[in-house]
Chain A
Amino acid sequence: MTDTLLQVKGLKTWFGDGDNPARAVDGIGFSIRRGETFALLGESGCGKSITALSLLRLNPHPASRIVAGEVLLNGQNLLPLSEAEMEKIRGRRVSMIFQEPQSSLNPVLSVGQQIAEVLNWHFNTDKQGTYERSIELLKSVGIPDPHQRIKEYPHQLSGGMKQRVMIAIALAGEPELLIADEPTTALDVTIQAQILDLLKDIQQKTGMAIMLITHDLGVVAQMADHVAVMYAGQIVETASRRQFFNDTQHPYTRKLFEALPSEQKREEKLTVIKGSVPPLNQPFNCCRFSDRCDFAWQHCHDVAPRWLESEGHGVRCHLYDPEVSAERVKPELAVTSSRLSEVVPADKALLKADRLKVHFPIKKGILQRVVGHVKAVDGISLDLRPAETLALVGESGCGKTTVGKGILQLVPVTSGEVSFRGKALTRLPERELKEVRSAMQIIFQDPFSSMNPRMTITQVIEEGMLTSSIKAPADRARKVDELLQRVGLRPDIKYRYPHEFSGGQRQRICIARALAAEPEVIICDEPTSALDVSVQAQILNLLRDIQHEFGLSYLFITHNIAVVDYLAHRVAVMYLGRVVEEGLRDEVLNSPKHPYTQALLSAVPKIDSETRQESVKLEGELPSPANPPKGCHFHQRCPHVMPICRETYPDLTQLSRSHTVKCYLYEDNYGSTDSN
């Protein structure tokens, strides 16, 4: 096969020495053809990044070592090459881009210098040639005004720009293969859509192959020609995209699909994968997934499955092995008790925010004079009803987290009012505020920083009972046990410390702490965005269950539209400190009115991608909240911009009893005629 660019055979990268090295990559093999996009899919910790690093022999040294295998690039094995020879390959024939554009650019070198470094290393060009080539590269990755940008430093660029520069640097060596390690995970959906389009575009022009490492099925659906699924250091399934999405075979892959939240699953619980990834520092002589598999029978626990391949669709599972007589185990179907439609929110406001503003002063100079304000939240009105989930959706930097903190009075509110059960919180003195506090709780995004590492789990949860009526230590201890059981943890873990738990378990403990305060409102600040899909499903199920059980109201802050679709009753879309559209979930997500909402929704990669609709692509990025554009904040990126949009901010337009939008398109005096 001449069109095979990269072939990996039996690659093993182990961490640590001694009797039980961690087998992070344990004998994987795949091949990438010229010009195709190969996606390596898997949850965190399954070894995908180490695989990518091992291909270029960039795996951490001396912590890990490549034990066995072959990496054939055009038939040439890379593993026995000397370091000097590898330098000629890295960046020239295979280059790599990383997840975090922030940390992969050197902050003290200008963009031009960083591109020139690669060019000078691999090509003998003069200064003029280097400059011209750099400009050309910046143009090719869609950076406007490259002559200006080439002199700038990384901190002057936004996240999306940085990732474009990273791609430009990776392209500088004109590689045959680009390894992209979660290139869009740190970016917002609209920026993600831009970057993915850019990658596809470049691939068509240059014909290079892309190895895309991701955990996002949506990205796979949009980008990949071939997919490989990794689990616990092994590839468990490979297929072309069509096969992959139409005929999923391995139970793990199927579970991944089922765990994804979506509109169709609103009435049921999400499927979860029981247990967790087995520790990799042991030799396996069984199927690695057997403990978590619904279909597993005795044979799975005794014999490791072999690799089976038919018509380009490979799978590592006994179910498809003709030599193994499968005892088909009928999995028990999850009981669908958790119907969203069962709960009907009452029609009165429990929590109300009225023209809430949170401005952060920008101070400058020796005297710390205030020279301006970052208008993080700029006049937001929301109301949350009992037992309701209101989703607050927006890109990072639009101020949605600050809304949550402002409502809880955790940041000083500039103006406006927050009232809880008719009590105006903004005017309460600290002492009286404390009494209301326990009724409103918050769950944070990062389960690793939201617990004091020096407190035991009991102490963490008991902190939630500060204002509770339970005083006796024995009663408190009983309550802690109860709460731990409620969130699905064993009570005997309570004397352990947070670092001993996984992200999902920690998030459960945080939920238990919030519940300990017996709240009526919980503000969920992206509680699942740091978690894997299967763990996310567990947390979402839990959140929904406790909502039904305790009649909680959620203000669910997120950027993940699928989660909103699954969980929310109502949705508010935020853009640069203001709500631009608000309404019932069905109204906002299925017939979005504001151009920004439309763009946001179409930027989300769809899994059922056979029906690729024409999407609204957004240009540019979120403007700075310190200096918002005049008129409608969105007018610079809006495809339907009108002269009036550049002048004044639009008023609220009531589309139905529950659906409101702030856009001139729907105002009687200006809109409708232009819109279509």
Chain B
Amino acid sequence: MPFLPVFLWTDILIFLLLAVVAAAVIYVRRRPHLRAPWKSVIQRRRGMISIMVLSCYVVIGLLDSLHYRPALENDGDSTSTHYATEVISVFDRIAQPLRQQVEKTYSAPFAHRLYVKEMQTAEDGALVYDYPRLKYGASHLDNPANKLEDITSTIVKATLLSLLLVIIVFILHCLFNRKRLGGSVVRQAARITRGESTYPLRTFYLMLFLITVTAVNLVMLSADYHVFGTDKVGQDVLYQALKSIRTGLVIGTLTTLVMLPLAIMMGIAAGYFRGWADDVIQYIYTTLNSIPGVLLIAAAVLILQVYMNNNPEQFETIAERADMRLLFLCIILGVTSWTGLCRILRAETLKLREAEYVLASRSLGASNFSILHKHILPNLMHLVLIAVVLDFSGLVLAEAVLSYVGVGVDPSMISWGNMINSARLEMARDPVVWWSLTAAFISMFILVLAANLFADVVRDAFDPRMQGAR
């Protein structure tokens, strides 16, 4: 076998989550009252935009969650294959050039020279103290003076290519529509361009164009240049920014996976059963809320750190170590953040348990369990959904803050927090190295903005008071 699949814990959980989401989608599609709010999410322009941006991130994150160890070159006649100790992902394989084209140290975006001067031997044998040429960046150019021309022509080519791609998608869409709805292709094309559909298709195509332009440009430019420069050890910053996506997504989604069962079970139990159950749960979350979250997280992470240092034999690769720490961070974040949702769910359950349909159900002889899952839980789900989507962006930001403080993810794991952490020193040096921070900022900003917009639209769609106002 040319590779050995590696199942990291977070990978398993991510794909489990994906399966749950897929099941939920199938479930929702069959129920008109659940489908309606989702439809209205897509029908709004902001919803369409945020979903498209988020799905780009999700695709990168998922590709980065398929890990394996490549087989080493078989040297000679040994029958068993050996695998590399380094765990790489499918995304790493796709971005191989980015990953392997490592310079010596810092270089600015689109630079052809290093950012620091070095002693070097000129062709005539004289020693020169100057900025050396990069090993990979712009190395295809004989004359660096043509760099601007080269970049411009690449951008033009990439833009034309992406325009072509979008047009192909558009034509396929029209053909598909003709098959489904009838009418000529021209009629269907007119329908889309005039915005006659119930979905914001013009926004869709504009967004599709923007995304393809960005993607194709990045792909074509990064083949020859370091688009976001390189960091201290010469690694491409664009690659780092893209790798950070998985870390951010894992923190944002797995934490909710940990938090949800706690919050839902505790919240419903407190609200529905009242009495001592309510008292106990209220005391638990009041106590937990009074402990400073960062303190608890720092303590837990440090304990784990000590444990991992004492038991190195349990972790085969560095990736597994880093992954364990990431998972642990998710768990501890989940444990500290369920209280807010729990409170909301408790209050709502208190209201629902007195609802007349619950009373009617009780008078029909329904058991507590069937009331909980038929009447209470479905009427809480919109709150859960809103909380999850709203929490997501907060958690992504929390990861950055925690890693900056030093209690976040493993230092060997690429994440926005770690990028910012290392940028601390870069900002202090002269001349300043600004691109690392900028790349982290831009990629994080786009994700969080899209998530917030999405949360906004979802909240509107599920808010009964907003039903008429749209």
Binding site for B on A (CB under 8 A): 405, 408, 410, 433-435, 437-438, 440-442, 444, 446, 449-455, 463-464, 466-467, 497, 499, 510, 513-514, 517
A405 to B367 alpha-carbon distance, docked (Å): 17
> Does the CB pair A517–B364 fall under 8 Å?
yes
> Does the CB pair A444–B356 fall under 8 Å?
yes
> Does the CB pair B365–A438 fall under 8 Å?
yes
Which of B34, B355, B363, B375 neighbours the largest number of chain A CB atoms within 10 Å of its CB? B363
Other-chain residue from B33, B365, B379 in contact with A466 (beta carbon distance below 8 A): B365
**Which residues does chain B contribute within 8 Å of A410, judged by CB atoms?**
359, 362-363
> Does the CB pair A441–B379 fall under 8 Å?
no
> Does the CB pair B364–A441 fall under 8 Å?
yes
> Does the CB pair A463–B364 fall under 8 Å?
yes
A463 to B364 alpha-carbon distance, docked (Å): 8
Binding site for A on B (CB under 8 A): 32-34, 355-357, 359-367, 370, 374-375, 378-379
Other-chain residue from B33, B355, B365 in contact with A434 (beta carbon distance below 8 A): B365
**Which residues does chain A contribute within 8 Å of B367, judged by CB atoms?**
434
Minimum Cβ distance to chain B for residue A464 (Å): 6
> Does the CB pair A437–B379 fall under 8 Å?
no
A440 to B359 alpha-carbon distance, docked (Å): 13
Minimum Cβ distance to chain A for residue B105 (Å): 60
> Does the CB pair B365–A449 fall under 8 Å?
no
> Does the CB pair A454–B33 fall under 8 Å?
yes
> Does the CB pair A408–B33 fall under 8 Å?
no
> Does the CB pair B360–A513 fall under 8 Å?
yes
**Which residues does chain B contribute within 8 Å of A513, judged by CB atoms?**
360, 364
**Which residues does chain B contribute within 8 Å of A405, judged by CB atoms?**
359
> Does the CB pair A497–B33 fall under 8 Å?
yes
> Does the CB pair B32–A497 fall under 8 Å?
yes
With contact pairs A463-B361, A497-B32, A513-B360 given, residues A452 and B366 touching in the complex (Cβ less than 8 Å): no
> Does the CB pair B365–A467 fall under 8 Å?
yes
Which of B356, B359, B362, B366 neighbours the largest number of chain A CB atoms within 10 Å of its CB? B356
What 11 new A-B contacts, CB under 8 Å, besides A438-B364, A463-B374?
Answer: A434-B367, A435-B365, A437-B364, A441-B364, A444-B359, A449-B356, A450-B360, A452-B375, A452-B379, A455-B378, A499-B33
**Which residues does chain B contribute within 8 Å of A433, judged by CB atoms?**
365
> Does the CB pair A437–B356 fall under 8 Å?
no
**Which residues does chain A contribute within 8 Å of B361, judged by CB atoms?**
463
Q: List 26 A-B residue pairs with CB atoms under 8 Å apart, sorted by A's residue number.
A: A405-B359, A408-B363, A410-B363, A437-B362, A437-B364, A438-B365, A441-B363, A442-B359, A444-B360, A449-B355, A449-B356, A449-B357, A450-B357, A450-B360, A452-B374, A452-B375, A452-B379, A453-B379, A454-B34, A454-B378, A463-B361, A466-B366, A497-B33, A499-B33, A513-B360, A514-B360
**Which residues does chain A contribute within 8 Å of B33, judged by CB atoms?**
453-454, 497, 499
A467 to B367 alpha-carbon distance, docked (Å): 11
Interface residue SS majority, chain A = loop
With contact pairs A497-B32, A497-B33 given, residues A452 and B357 touching in the complex (Cβ less than 8 Å): yes
Minimum Cβ distance to chain B for residue A576 (Å): 23
A477 to B359 alpha-carbon distance, docked (Å): 24
Minimum Cβ distance to chain B for residue A473 (Å): 17
Q: Kindly list the 3 A-B residue pairs having the minimum CB-CB distance in the complex, ordered from nearest.
A: A437-B365, A450-B356, A434-B365
A513 to B364 alpha-carbon distance, docked (Å): 9
A433 to B22 alpha-carbon distance, docked (Å): 41
A71 to B360 alpha-carbon distance, docked (Å): 49
**Which residues does chain B contribute within 8 Å of A455, judged by CB atoms?**
374, 378
With contact pairs A450-B356, A450-B357 given, residues A463 and B366 touching in the complex (Cβ less than 8 Å): yes
> Does the CB pair B363–A442 fall under 8 Å?
yes
> Does the CB pair A467–B364 fall under 8 Å?
yes
**Which residues does chain B contribute within 8 Å of A463, judged by CB atoms?**
361, 364, 366, 374
A475 to B375 alpha-carbon distance, docked (Å): 24
A477 to B375 alpha-carbon distance, docked (Å): 21
Minimum Cβ distance to chain B for residue A441 (Å): 6
A517 to B356 alpha-carbon distance, docked (Å): 17
With contact pairs A454-B33, A454-B378, A497-B33 given, residues A510 and B360 touching in the complex (Cβ less than 8 Å): yes
A437 to B362 alpha-carbon distance, docked (Å): 8
> Does the CB pair A452–B378 fall under 8 Å?
yes
A438 to B379 alpha-carbon distance, docked (Å): 25
A499 to B32 alpha-carbon distance, docked (Å): 12
In chain B, what residue has the closest Cβ to A442?
Answer: B363
**Which residues does chain A contribute within 8 Å of B359, judged by CB atoms?**
405, 410, 442, 444
In chain A, what residue has the closest Cβ to B352?
Answer: A452
A414 to B160 alpha-carbon distance, docked (Å): 81
**Which residues does chain B contribute within 8 Å of A454, judged by CB atoms?**
33-34, 378-379
**Which residues does chain B contribute within 8 Å of A464, judged by CB atoms?**
364
Minimum Cβ distance to chain B for residue A513 (Å): 7
Minimum Cβ distance to chain B for residue A184 (Å): 25
A435 to B355 alpha-carbon distance, docked (Å): 23
A437 to B356 alpha-carbon distance, docked (Å): 16
A453 to B352 alpha-carbon distance, docked (Å): 12
> Does the CB pair A446–B364 fall under 8 Å?
no
A508 to B355 alpha-carbon distance, docked (Å): 19
**Which residues does chain A contribute within 8 Å of B362, judged by CB atoms?**
410, 437
**Which residues does chain A contribute within 8 Å of B364, judged by CB atoms?**
437-438, 441, 463-464, 466-467, 513, 517
> Does the CB pair A437–B355 fall under 8 Å?
no
A446 to B374 alpha-carbon distance, docked (Å): 20
A463 to B379 alpha-carbon distance, docked (Å): 17
Which of B357, B364, B366 neighbours the largest number of chain A CB atoms within 10 Å of its CB? B364
Minimum Cβ distance to chain B for residue A430 (Å): 9
**Which residues does chain B contribute within 8 Å of A466, judged by CB atoms?**
364-366, 370
Which of B359, B360, B370, B375 neighbours the largest number of chain A CB atoms within 10 Å of its CB? B360
Minimum Cβ distance to chain A for residue B351 (Å): 10
Minimum Cβ distance to chain A for residue B271 (Å): 17
A446 to B367 alpha-carbon distance, docked (Å): 24
Minimum Cβ distance to chain A for residue B356 (Å): 4
**Which residues does chain A contribute within 8 Å of B32, judged by CB atoms?**
497
In chain B, what residue has the closest Cβ to A523?
Answer: B363
**Which residues does chain B contribute within 8 Å of A408, judged by CB atoms?**
363
With contact pairs A410-B362, A438-B364, A467-B364 given, residues A451 and B357 touching in the complex (Cβ less than 8 Å): yes
> Does the CB pair A437–B360 fall under 8 Å?
no
In chain B, what residue has the closest Cβ to A452?
Answer: B357
In chain B, what residue has the closest Cβ to A445?
Answer: B356
A466 to B374 alpha-carbon distance, docked (Å): 13
**Which residues does chain A contribute within 8 Å of B365, judged by CB atoms?**
433-435, 437-438, 466-467, 517
Minimum Cβ distance to chain B for residue A188 (Å): 21
**Which residues does chain A contribute within 8 Å of B366, judged by CB atoms?**
463, 466
In chain B, what residue has the closest Cβ to A517?
Answer: B364
With contact pairs A434-B365, A452-B375, A454-B379 given, residues A446 and B356 touching in the complex (Cβ less than 8 Å): yes
In chain A, what residue has the closest Cβ to B358?
Answer: A452
In chain B, what residue has the closest Cβ to A438?
Answer: B365
A437 to B363 alpha-carbon distance, docked (Å): 6
**Which residues does chain B contribute within 8 Å of A441, judged by CB atoms?**
363-364
A467 to B365 alpha-carbon distance, docked (Å): 7
Minimum Cβ distance to chain A for residue B129 (Å): 71
Minimum Cβ distance to chain A for residue B441 (Å): 40
A62 to B363 alpha-carbon distance, docked (Å): 45
Minimum Cβ distance to chain B for residue A360 (Å): 13
Minimum Cβ distance to chain A for residue B28 (Å): 12
**Which residues does chain A contribute within 8 Å of B375, judged by CB atoms?**
452
A399 to B361 alpha-carbon distance, docked (Å): 22
Minimum Cβ distance to chain A for residue B451 (Å): 26
> Does the CB pair A440–B363 fall under 8 Å?
yes
Minimum Cβ distance to chain B for residue A45 (Å): 15
In chain A, what residue has the closest Cβ to B467?
Answer: A499
**Which residues does chain B contribute within 8 Å of A444, judged by CB atoms?**
356, 359-360
A444 to B355 alpha-carbon distance, docked (Å): 10
A317 to B86 alpha-carbon distance, docked (Å): 89
A440 to B367 alpha-carbon distance, docked (Å): 16
**Which residues does chain A contribute within 8 Å of B357, judged by CB atoms?**
449-452
In chain B, what residue has the closest Cβ to A514?
Answer: B360
A616 to B245 alpha-carbon distance, docked (Å): 78
**Which residues does chain B contribute within 8 Å of A437, judged by CB atoms?**
362-365
